[in-house]
């Protein structure tokens, strides 16, 4: 298959299969396997030729493919509260048997976690490491109470990198490969730029890129941010979007009457219903946090820049910073409104959402609607509520446009 | 019960039930008043600034109405009630608040509190999760420098090394008395009721520590001199965030429970780590965090909390472990199965009670405590 001409949908499938094949044969090849969260500085693992598995991705995939209930039930039977984040409940249930018919992960040799997405992962991975009896390493990126990360935060993170390197050397039984590390930094920066360039196609109106597809395209930006093949893939996506622009085509097959921002994690078990409902209401998703969140770019190829980039991830940003980022996204992607996922699982995103909605509305006066859901627990979602809220959003966007005298 | 003991307990009871009066009194004396939110706040800095530190852990049985504008119902009730009180203006008389970000909910509080209570200066205390590393100590010293500078601006008073050293000593003295107090109640179960024990510990949040220590010395002296009562009830060790709403304590007393030890965030975890010696006073405060082991809100790669609870419960002579789970507290919800497992491995019967600070009635909890008591009696 020629990556220069193959369509991105096919290519993504191929690269995903390759990733899981590499991961699942890692131990046979004598490679170590680390479990981590999506925004951990993967550069260190790549430099040491460690295969990396992402339990969050496992949960999302099982959620999308209707395979979570046995693990949610198992987790509850272990005595964990059903109030906990569903990603973590699935993960804790899964490690009791490693037996999904849909997707499996190899057992970890080490677990690593970075606090730049959520604090619950600290506890989730603590429980996982204890249950599987493997070492557990933390990179703590402090919460950005004032706005963004401080130089003190960066110093602290760099000091933790030193400990991480020592632990990886112990795990692999060989010195850290600084030469490869520098190469990986350069590749990862290239991936960030390629991802950014590809996802920026949602800024066109009409958009050739269906923003909802970023839920799929982001996969490689999560699991393979340090690989050239990922940069090649996103370059290919940009080329494809150029072709679409030339031919006045779009991945979105409905009418692009309303451009919206989707706020929050996807509602994985209900993706198809969500998409159909939005399409039926002539809404295309063009705005979202994923293009920003997974664009882990640094100024230069040095460890302080790396630490600063990982410290600055939006989920741990102050309310003002998070409001700034989303208001800018809505402006750049020319959104007419926003749909907020009040995600039962994700406290760090949901608990700030009231302030966020208020702050963004005060700036752009764009209509918005909320719906209750959960990233992977299928029971915490009502299709009827979703439809009603989307319809209300559409009516409000139409009214706002009529008021402005637009179409 | 001697009259003096009654007087001490009454004074402490007055402190926990007359917080507003105390704050107004401190203000009238020209003192600044600084609120200290959960979980681990270096209060010594507030003390050294001359301000009066007052604990902010929400309120019992408070109807949640306006906090819903900020938080969905699945935010923990401590944060819900803090938010409700903030909107109602209950904290408007404060000059500042110290807020930590040790869990995702508290991180959000750092952002919502300024919106709900704009007249009060927020000062953020960013603990290092990776607290055992030397880099974390360096980091936290710098963070504390920032906290110190903001407190100096707020109070108009420089926090000298000498003043901070004195405050740390005052706090360490209080901690020593509190540790001794907890041990005495383990050695002589039944000497105080569950409610009285709670009041003695809670009073720390609403009195100057010198004042509290003076009372504690007297109280401990009396407890030491007292003969152990012939206690035939159930001795429990309590784990969790907090044991409130406090009418649960009355239910426990009615049913013949006594508390012989705890590792509640609201209670013993506030005083069971002395501030160690170090080269500077800020380093001492930073190194105190380094000494924590098995702390639920800090990174614990070997997840030792369960074993620590079981060991402490055994040492305290407990018959059982009671896990007071604050509903929607993720931190404790992840630890609960492990604490249960460790307790059971140590042959300690285990009861977990799901609490909300806002709950109006303790009756459902009474039924569970009653059933547990009966079960233990039959087992014995």
What are the pLDDT digits (tens) for B82-100?
A: 999 999 999 999 999 999 9
Q: What is the largest CA-CA distance in chain B?
A: 62
Distance of CA A378 to CAs A87, A90, A343, A383, B160, Å? 12, 12, 12, 11, 57
DSSP A108: P
Residue of A nearest to B330 (CA): A84
What is the SS3 assignment for A243? helix
The dihedral formed by the CA atoms of B284, B182, B346 and B300, expressed in degrees to the nearest 10: -20
Give backbone dihedrals phi and psi of A48, rounded to 5 degrees, phi first: -100, 10
- Residue-wise pLDDT for B63-73, tens only, equals 999 999 999 99
What domains lie within chain B, and their CATH numbers? 22-159 (3.40.50.11890)
Q: Using the beta-carbon criterion (under 8 Å), do B301 and A129 form an inter-chain contact?
A: yes
Spell out the residues 6+ positions from residue B146 whose beta carbon is closer than 8 angstroms to its own.
Answer: none
Average the pLDDT over A79-97 and give the result.
98
Nearest Cα to B375, choosing from B238, B250, B236? Answer: B236
pLDDT of residue A126: 98
How many whole angstroms separate alpha carbon A146 and alpha carbon B133?
Answer: 24
Average the pLDDT over B140-148 and give the result.
98
Of A120, A123, A152, the CB nearest to B142: A152
B328 φψ region: left (φ > 0), alpha (ψ -120 to 50), beta (else) = left
A164: chain B residues, CB-CB within 8 Å: none
pLDDT of residue A290: 84
CB B71 within 8 A of CB B113: no
Find residues 143-172 of chain B whose CB sits inside 8 Å of chain A: 143
Interface A-B, measured as beta-carbon pairs within 8 A, has a size of 139
CB A336 within 8 A of CB A287: no
Distance of CA B276 to CAs A276, B165, B282, Å? 61, 11, 11
Spell out the residues 6+ positions from residue B71 whose beta carbon is closer than 8 angstroms to its own.
Answer: A351, A354, B79, B80, B83, B108, B112
First to last CA, chain B: 30
B101: chain A residues, CB-CB within 8 Å: 142-143, 145
Element (H, E) at A346: none
- Name the H helices within A316-380: 319-332, 347-350, 353-364
pLDDT of residue A132: 98
Average the pLDDT over B243-253 and give the result.
95
Q: Using the beta-carbon criterion (under 8 Å), do B134 and A146 form an inter-chain contact?
A: no
pLDDT of residue A407: 55
Evaluate if residue A279 carries a pLDDT over 70: yes
- Touching check for B112 and chain A: CB below 8 Å? yes
How many whole angstroms separate alpha carbon A200 and alpha carbon A35?
Answer: 30
Q: State both tokens at B370.
A: 């009653």
Q: Using the beta-carbon criterion (under 8 Å), do A344 and B74 form an inter-chain contact?
A: yes
Q: State both tokens at A407.
A: 């179409």
How many whole angstroms separate alpha carbon B99 and alpha carbon A50?
Answer: 39
Mean pLDDT score across all residues of chain B: 96
Q: Using the beta-carbon criterion (under 8 Å), do A319 and B143 form an inter-chain contact?
A: no
Give backbone dihedrals phi and psi of B37, rounded to 5 degrees, phi first: -80, 170
| B284 HSE (CA, 13 A, CB side) | 19
Average the pLDDT over B179-196 and give the result.
98
Mean pLDDT score across all residues of chain A: 96
Q: Using the beta-carbon criterion (under 8 Å), do A155 and B138 form an inter-chain contact?
A: yes
Residue of B nearest to A117 (CA): B104
A138: chain B residues, CB-CB within 8 Å: 129-130, 299, 301
Q: Using the beta-carbon criterion (under 8 Å), do B136 and A130 form an inter-chain contact?
A: no
Spell out the residues 6+ positions from residue A368 whose beta carbon is closer than 8 angstroms to its own.
Answer: A337, A338, A339, A340, A357, A360, A361, A393
Evaluate if residue B2 carries a pLDDT over 80: no
How many whole angstroms separate alpha carbon B159 and alpha carbon B294?
Answer: 32
Residue ranges of E strands in A166-209: none
- Print burial letters for A344-361: b (CB count within 10 Å at least 16), e (below 16): bbbbbbbbbbbbbbebbe
What is the SS3 assignment for B241? coil
Other beta carbons less than 10 A from residue A146's beta carbon:
14
What is the SS3 assignment for A215? helix
What is the SS3 assignment for A333? coil
Q: Given the structure tokens 């490491």, which residue do they identify? A: A129
User: Chain B: nearest CA to A213, how far in angstroms?
Assistant: 29
- Residue-wise pLDDT for B46-59, tens only, equals 999 999 999 999 99
Q: Using the beta-carbon criterion (under 8 Å), do A123 and B105 form an inter-chain contact?
A: no
pLDDT of residue A323: 97
pLDDT of residue B379: 64
User: Chain A: nearest CA to B145, how far in angstroms?
Assistant: 11
Domain locations along chain A: 1-407
Kindly indicate the confidence band of residue A405, based on its pLDDT and cuts at 50, 70 and 90. Answer: confident
Q: Using the beta-carbon criterion (under 8 Å), do B301 and A135 form an inter-chain contact?
A: yes
A124: chain B residues, CB-CB within 8 Å: 334
User: Chain A: nearest CA to B30, how far in angstroms?
Assistant: 30
> Residue length, chain B?
380
Q: Given the structure tokens 């944060």, which residue do they identify? A: B79
Q: State both tokens at B115.
A: 């919106």
Kindly indicate the confidence band of residue B251, based on its pLDDT and cuts at 50, 70 and 90. Answer: very high
Residue of B nearest to A161 (CA): B135
CB A33 within 8 A of CB A106: yes
Distance of CA A183 to CAs A178, A296, B48, B149, Å? 9, 16, 51, 42
Residue of B nearest to A133 (CA): B302
A86-94 and A120-132 helices, crossing angle to 10°: 0
Of A122, A146, A354, the CB nearest to B299: A122
Of B130, B139, B335, the CB nearest to A152: B139
Q: Is the dihedral of CA B347, B348, B351, B355 positive or negative?
A: negative
Nearest Cα to B313, choosing from B377, B263, B268? Answer: B263
pLDDT of residue B39: 93
Evaluate if residue B1 carries a pLDDT over 60: no
How many whole angstroms separate alpha carbon A40 and alpha carbon A122?
Answer: 12
pLDDT of residue B333: 98
Instruction: Note the pTM of the prediction, 2 decimals.
Output: 0.96
- Name the H helices within B203-255: 209-225, 247-254
B136: chain A residues, CB-CB within 8 Å: 140, 156, 159
pLDDT of residue A239: 97
Q: Using the beta-carbon criterion (under 8 Å), do A354 and B126 form an inter-chain contact?
A: no
Q: Got the DSSP string for A133-156? A: T--EEEE-----SSSS--HHHHHH
How many whole angstroms separate alpha carbon A231 and alpha carbon A244?
Answer: 20
CB A348 within 8 A of CB B108: yes
Evaluate if residue A305 carries a pLDDT over 50: yes
Q: Using the beta-carbon criterion (under 8 Å), do B72 and A80 form an inter-chain contact?
A: no
User: Chain A: nearest CA to B331, how far in angstroms?
Assistant: 7
Share of chain B above pLDDT 90, in %: 96
Interface test with A, best of B107, B113, B302 (most A CBs within 10 A): B107
B124: chain A residues, CB-CB within 8 Å: 145-146
Find residues 232-291 of chain B whose CB sits inside 8 Å of chain A: none
Find residues 66-85 of chain B whose CB sits inside 8 Å of chain A: 69-72, 74-75
- Residue-wise pLDDT for A172-182, tens only, equals 999 999 999 99
Residue of B nearest to A79 (CA): B337
Average the pLDDT over A235-256 and give the result.
97
Of B104, B126, B327, the CB nearest to A142: B126
A83: chain B residues, CB-CB within 8 Å: 74, 327-328, 330, 333
Nearest Cα to A143, choosing from B229, B67, B265, B107? Answer: B107
Residue of A nearest to B126 (CA): A142
User: Chain B: nearest CA to A234, how far in angstroms?
Assistant: 33
> Residue length, chain A?
407
Beta bridge partners of B322: B238, B351
Of B70, B124, B340, the CB nearest to A145: B124
Q: Using the beta-carbon criterion (under 8 Å), do A352 and B103 form an inter-chain contact?
A: no
ipTM of the complex: 0.96
Average the pLDDT over A65-69 and give the result.
96
Of B101, B301, B328, the CB nearest to A143: B101
Q: Got the DSSP string for B76-108? A: -HHHHHHHHHHHTTTTTT-SEEEEE-SSHHHHH
């Amino acid at each position: 298959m020629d990556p220069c001409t193959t369509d991105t949908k096919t290519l993504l499938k191929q690269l995903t299969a390759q990733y899981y094949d590499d991961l699942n044969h890692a131990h046979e090849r004598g490679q170590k396997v680390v479990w981590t969260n999506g925004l951990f500085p993967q550069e260190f693992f790549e430099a040491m030729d460690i295969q990396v598995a992402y339990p969050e991705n496992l949960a999302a995939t099982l959620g999308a493919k209707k395979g979570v209930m046995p693990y949610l039930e198992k987790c509850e039977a272990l005595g964990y509260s059903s109030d906990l984040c569903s990603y973590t409940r699935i993960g804790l249930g899964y490690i009791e048997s490693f037996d999904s018919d849909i997707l499996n992960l190899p057992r970890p040799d080490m677990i690593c976690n970075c606090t730049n997405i959520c604090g619950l992962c600290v506890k989730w991975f603590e429980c996982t490491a204890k249950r599987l009896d493997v070492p557990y390493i933390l990179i703590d990126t402090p919460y950005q109470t004032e706005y963004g990360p401080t130089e003190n935060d960066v110093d602290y993170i760099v000091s933790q990198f030193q400990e991480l390197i020592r632990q990886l050397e112990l795990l692999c039984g060989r010195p850290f490969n600084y030469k490869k590390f520098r190469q990986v930094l350069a590749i990862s920066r290239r991936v960030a730029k390629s991802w950014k360039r590809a996802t920026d196609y949602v800024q066109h109106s009409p958009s050739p890129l269906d923003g909802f597809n970023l839920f799929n395209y982001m996969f490689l930006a999560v699991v393979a941010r340090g690989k050239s093949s990922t940069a090649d893939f996103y370059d290919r996506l940009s080329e494809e979007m150029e072709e679409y622009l030339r031919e006045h085509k779009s991945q979105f097959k409905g009418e692009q009457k309303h451009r919206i921002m989707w706020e929050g994690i996807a509602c994985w078990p209900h993706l198809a219903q969500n998409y159909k409902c939005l399409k039926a209401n002539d809404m295309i998703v063009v705005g979202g946090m994923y293009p920003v969140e997974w664009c882990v770019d640094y100024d230069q190829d040095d460890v302080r820049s790396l630490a600063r980039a990982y410290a600055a991830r939006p989920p741990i940003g102050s309310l003002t910073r998070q409001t700034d980022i989303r208001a800018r996204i809505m402006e750049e992607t020319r959104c007419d409104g926003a749909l907020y996922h009040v995600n039962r699982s994700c406290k760090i995103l949901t608990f700030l959402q009231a302030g966020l909605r208020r702050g963004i509305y005060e700036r752009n006066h764009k209509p918005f609607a909320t719906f209750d859901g959960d990233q992977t627990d299928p029971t915490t979602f009502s299709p009827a509520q979703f439809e009603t809220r989307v319809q209300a959003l559409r009516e409000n966007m139409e009214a706002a446009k009529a008021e402005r005298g637009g179409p | 019960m001697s009259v003096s003991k009654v007087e001490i307990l009454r004074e402490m009871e007055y402190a926990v039930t007359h917080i507003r009066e105390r704050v107004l009194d401190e203000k009238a004396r020209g003192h600044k008043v600084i609120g200290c939110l959960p979980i681990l706040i270096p209060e010594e800095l507030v003390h050294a600034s001359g301000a009066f530190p007052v604990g902010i852990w929400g309120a019992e049985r408070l109807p949640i109405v306006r906090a819903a504008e900020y938080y969905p119902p699945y935010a923990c009730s401590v944060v819900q009630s803090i938010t409700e009180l903030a909107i109602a203006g209950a904290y408007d008389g404060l000059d500042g608040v110290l807020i930590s970000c040790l869990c995702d909910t508290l991180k959000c509080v750092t952002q919502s509190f300024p919106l709900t209570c704009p007249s009060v200066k927020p000062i953020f205390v960013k603990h290092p999760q990776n607290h055992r590393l030397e880099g974390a100590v360096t980091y936290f010293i710098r963070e504390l420098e920032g906290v110190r500078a903001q407190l100096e601006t707020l109070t108009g008073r420089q926090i000298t090394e000498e003043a901070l050293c004195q405050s740390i000593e005052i706090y360490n003295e209080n901690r020593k008395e509190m540790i001794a107090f907890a041990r005495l109640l383990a050695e002589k179960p039944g000497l105080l009721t569950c409610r009285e024990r709670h009041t003695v510990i809670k009073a720390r949040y609403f009195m100057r520590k010198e004042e509290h220590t003076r009372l504690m010395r007297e109280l401990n002296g009396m407890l030491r001199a007292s003969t152990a009562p012939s206690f035939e009830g159930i001795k429990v060790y309590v784990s969790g965030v907090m044991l409130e709403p406090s009418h649960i304590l009355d239910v426990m007393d009615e049913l013949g429970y006594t508390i012989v030890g705890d590792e509640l965030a609201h209670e013993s975890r506030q005083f069971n780590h002395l501030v160690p010696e170090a080269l500077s006073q800020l380093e001492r405060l930073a190194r105190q965090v380094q000494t924590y082991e098995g702390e639920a809100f800090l990174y614990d790669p070997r997840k030792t909390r369960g074993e620590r609870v079981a060991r402490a419960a055994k040492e305290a002579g407990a018959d059982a472990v009671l896990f007071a789970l604050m509903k929607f507290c993720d931190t404790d919800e992840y630890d609960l199965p492990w604490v249960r497992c460790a307790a059971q491995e140590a042959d300690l019967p285990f009861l977990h009670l799901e609490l909300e600070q806002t709950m109006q009635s303790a009756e459902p909890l009474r039924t569970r405590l009653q059933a547990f008591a009966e079960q233990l009696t039959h087992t014995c």
